Amino acid sequence: MPEITVKRRSNETDITLELNIYGQGKYQINSGCGFFDHMLELFVAHGRFDLKLNCVGDTQVDYHHSIEDIGICLGRAFSQALGERAGINRYGSIILPMDEALVLAAVDISGRDFCRIDLDFSSARIGDFNVELIAEFWTAFARELGVSIHISQMSGINNHHIAEAAFKGMGRALRIAVAQDESLGGQIPSTKGTIL
């Protein structure tokens, strides 16, 4: 599978992203936000995706534009890498523990975008990162890829652990969903005959 490169430049962000969805979990990530770098590192390491990302954004405003636009670029890269979605599992899910936190992550690469994030944070920020941007990121990603995403917290107290479980879980769930199912023989995993 060739590496996919996506570039996006606007008045708010300048992003270059390189992705291999069937990689080894290697990464070089600079989102402009240390906490979000950490979350993306967890996502790609557990998904076994290779990701190089550089984002220069208007962080003097806040992180909103950078986080949302990275979601757009990453979703586009996954979509390009998957092509017609032939032979993939399509579905993936996991219940992932992170110490006291327990989070369900589930995906359906269906061609339809939906994103539901049920995470119960006790504060609005983790460091200088606004936790509402987690939903913004995954919503943008879902729209560009055409994937239904559910991330639901089953337990958890520590905000960092809850966020970490969500990103690790999404990495693991997507790793399952994009994997090739040999029994399909390269067919599209839908009775419609198409996912796009």
Dump pLDDT digits (tens) for 73-118: 999 999 999 999 999 999 999 999 999 999 999 999 999 999 999 9
pLDDT of residue 173: 98
Kindly tell me if the per-residue pLDDT of 38 is higher than 90: yes
pLDDT of residue 79: 97
Q: How far is CA 70 from the centre of its chain?
A: 10
pLDDT of residue 196: 79
Q: What is the mean pLDDT of residues 119-146?
A: 97
Q: How far apart are CA 143 and CA 160, in angstroms?
A: 26
pLDDT of residue 52: 98
- Cβ(3)–Cβ(50) below 8 Å: yes
Kindly tell me if the per-residue pLDDT of 183 is higher than 70: yes
Kindly tell me if the per-residue pLDDT of 180 is higher than 90: yes
Q: Which tokens go with 7?
A: 């570039």
- Cβ(188)–Cβ(154) below 8 Å: no
Indicate the helix (H) or strand (E) that contains 161: helix 159-178
CATH superfamily, region 4-184: Imidazole glycerol phosphate dehydratase; domain 1 (3.30.230.40)
pLDDT of residue 1: 58
Kindly tell me if the per-residue pLDDT of 68 is higher than 80: yes
